[in-house]
Amino acid sequence: MRFARDFAILTALMALGTWLLGWWCVPLVAAAAAIWARSRRGVILKATLAGACAWVILLVVQELFGSSVTRFGSDLGVSLGVPAALPLAMTIILPGILAASAAATVVAIAGLRRTARL
């Protein structure tokens, strides 16, 4: 239950932060989540999934209320010479990677600090 709650909060913060301030909010929110996590277990997975889901939400909202995301992905795929789904897939994968790397960095630093105190 706590995983789902934390995941939903992270996803909402990442989506809202990206919409208001830009893509760099994804790693910032993931790092903050890793800092404030009571348990380091699962925080990287939560951040990774939340980053990807946040951008899925943003793409769906853009598709519903703005321009055609699928058409853009298709046009970009044609111009790059790759399958049409690849640009959209990379758009979803990249925030997950950013969030995972930020959370993993914080967890690693926290682990180093913990072992240095011994």
Q: Could you read off the pLDDT of 54-97 as tens digits, one per residue?
A: 999 998 988 888 778 778 888 888 888 888 888 889 989 999 99
DSSP for 29-87? HHHHHHHH-SSSTTHHHHHHHHHHHHHHHHHHHHHHHSS-HHHHHHHHHHHHTS-THHH
Q: What is the pLDDT of residue 63?
A: 86
Q: What pLDDT is attached to residue 62?
A: 87
Spatial contact of 66 and 115, defined as CB atoms under 8 Å apart: no
| Predicted local confidence at residue 100, as pLDDT | 95
Number of Cα atoms under 13 Å in the Cβ half of residue 96: 13
Residue that wins the pLDDT comparison between 44 and 69:
44
pLDDT of residue 84: 83
pLDDT score at 53: 96
Examine the pLDDT at 117 and tell me if it is beyond 60: no
